[in-house]
Each structure stands twice: as structure tokens, then as C-alpha cells.
Amino acid sequence: MKLSVIVLSFVLVGMAFAGPAGPASENQEKKGADAKEARWQGTIVRISQNDSTISVRGGQSNMESTEKVIRFDSSTQWTKQGKPAEQGEFKEGSFVIVLGNPSENGEFHATRIDLRLPR
């Protein structure tokens, strides 16, 4: 009897440390992929339709002034204060917040570019 209680407790402890299985672990993997999404904010310096890039001077905080080239494509969402917008509304000098994925080679691919009110 003692042996079966000990074995059962080892099994339960092992299950507790193993973590969730199935759909819950898939959700954690998706969260890990979303966690890599980065944010960049600043003023548009240049827009190149031919190269599908915009140059934004800013950073991850308000006081930064680093210029970053951001790539966009047909899957990039263009929004104005969170609502859908036309790409033509984005002009040099506009303040934007960009969400996207940095790549290992240093490029930043935008998944969403949001136009904000002038500061």
C-alpha cells in the first residue's frame, strides 16, 4: 500500500512539472511569436514606393532620434489612430507608430503602421 501511494505521488508531481499539453501549449507558442513584435515610433523622413520602405527618425521612446528604415508590403496594415487608413495619407513629417518584426539581418518589417496626430 505504501509503495502505491509513493508511486502515485511521484506521478502527480511529474505531471505538475510537465506543464500543460495540447491546445494550451500551442497558445503559449503563439504568444512567444507575438512577443517578438517590436515597436518603433517617430517622424517619417522619407518614403520610397519603389523600394517599399519608409525612413522613420525616432526610437522606442519619445526622446530618441535614431533613423530606421522600415519595410512594408501588401500585408502591412495602414491605420490612422487605430482605424483603417489609406497609404496616401502618410506623408514626410507625419508622426507614426510602427509595429513589426525585426529580422536577424537588421531589417524591420512592418505589420502595422499607425498615423498619429502631429505633436
The span from the CA of 37 to the CA of 53, in Å, is: 18
Predicted local distance difference test score (pLDDT) of residue 117: 84
Do 70 and 104 form a contact (C-beta atoms < 8 A)? no
Output the tens digit of pLDDT for each of the chain's 119 residues. 666 667 667 666 666 666 555 444 444 444 454 557 899 999 999 999 999 999 999 988 777 889 999 999 999 999 999 999 999 999 999 999 999 998 888 789 999 999 998 76
The span from the CA of 15 to the CA of 23, in Å, is: 16
Predicted local distance difference test score (pLDDT) of residue 76: 96
Do 108 and 40 form a contact (C-beta atoms < 8 A)? yes
Predicted local distance difference test score (pLDDT) of residue 13: 65
**Which amino acid is present at 7?**
V
The enclosing H or E element of 115 equals strand 108-116
- pTM for this prediction: 0.67
Predicted local distance difference test score (pLDDT) of residue 78: 97
The span from the CA of 44 to the CA of 16, in Å, is: 51
